[in-house]
């Protein structure tokens, strides 16, 4: 499936760049952004809550100091999760808010934090039990008509939740957990819906978390890594590249969101696009993940 949103084939996830991980300073952000762009990962994934509501603004300082960066990148952010944090004193408990007012307020704050006039893609971060699709549609229409957000989508939505919102506006992206360790979207209809409705699936945690570092503390992970390393020898690739190639093989056109703080891993992920696993090799990895042959 063609990537009609014109995002890079691998998306750089910023969640661990700030207080929730590497504690980058502005120079670190600039260097990481430049290295990602050089590698071909020009799309950057954010959420308002990352770093307890601080990472967007830290990333934005890098753009403020070098405004030319903005013309080279695409920015994704998410809203709807309300966390208890020192700089959100009005939040008494963690909850979700997808009201028109909250979506617009969140988008306006993200625009300010990121030092940009527009956001390329805004996602509803989690399904809200109280969400009104008409209310969300009004917020999205207002943001689109003002030129402040270009595209809209969801994250962590199941098929019925996505269909509900589709009844009021075009859902262009669903960012969900998909990896060799989390294959549910292949079978629960999420990827089928993406193909049918021309929704771009984006995969967070595309390498299954710790498996990225070769951590195999259980039999399942050991099976997967063993097969991936055998295939890696054939394709002259690292096992992590093989696992990304496995995702990219799916006809839904999965775009991985790589939550790394290491530029070399972004570069390696981009190269995984050139690995074309055979069907049998794809199913070999699936067998390693499930522990049995397909029925």
Positions marked active-site: 50
Element (H, E) at 237: none
Say if CB 46 and CB 110 are below 8 A apart.
Answer: yes
Distance CA 130, CA 92 (A): 18
Distance CA 253, CA 120 (A): 19
Contacts of residues 52-55 at CB distance under 8 Å and 24 or more positions apart, as own/partner, are: 52/19, 52/20, 52/83, 52/85, 52/86, 52/87, 53/83, 53/85, 53/87, 53/88, 54/18, 54/19, 54/87, 55/14, 55/15, 55/17, 55/18, 55/19, 55/20
Both tokens of residue 40? 């071909």
Distance CA 190, CA 257 (A): 17
Say if CB 247 and CB 179 are below 8 A apart.
Answer: yes
């Amino acid at each position: 499936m063609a990537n009609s949103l014109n995002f890079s084939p691998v998306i750089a996830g910023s969640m661990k760049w700030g207080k929730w991980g590497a504690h980058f300073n502005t120079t670190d952000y600039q260097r990481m952004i430049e290295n990602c762009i050089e590698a071909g990962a020009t799309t950057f994934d954010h959420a308002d809550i990352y770093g307890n509501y601080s990472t967007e603004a830290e990333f934005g300082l890098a753009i403020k100091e070098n405004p030319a960066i903005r013309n080279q990148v695409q920015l994704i952010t998410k809203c709807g999760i309300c966390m208890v944090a020192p700089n959100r004193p009005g939040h008494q408990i963690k909850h979700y808010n997808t009201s028109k007012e909250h979506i617009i307020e969140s988008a306006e704050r993200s625009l300010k934090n990121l030092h940009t006039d527009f956001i390329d893609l805004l996602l509803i971060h989690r399904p809200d039990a109280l969400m009104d699709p008409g209310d969300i549609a009004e917020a999205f229409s207002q943001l689109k008509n003002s030129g402040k957000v270009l595209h809209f989508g969801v994250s962590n939505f199941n098929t019925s939740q996505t269909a509900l919102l589709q009844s009021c506006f075009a859902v262009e992206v669903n960012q969900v957990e998909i990896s060799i360790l989390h294959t549910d979207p292949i079978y629960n209809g999420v990827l089928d819906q993406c193909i049918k409705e021309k929704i771009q699936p984006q995969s967070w945690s595309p390498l299954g978390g710790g498996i990225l570092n070769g951590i195999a503390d259980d039999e399942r992970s050991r099976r997967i890594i063993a097969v991936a390393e055998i295939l890696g020898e054939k394709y002259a690739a690292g096992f992590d590249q093989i696992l990304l190639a496995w995702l990219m093989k799916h006809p839904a056109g999965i775009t991985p969101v790589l939550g790394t703080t290491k530029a070399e891993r972004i570069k390696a992920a981009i190269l995984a696009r050139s690995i074309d696993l055979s069907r049998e090799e794809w199913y070999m990895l699936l067998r390693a993940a499930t522990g049995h042959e397909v029925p």
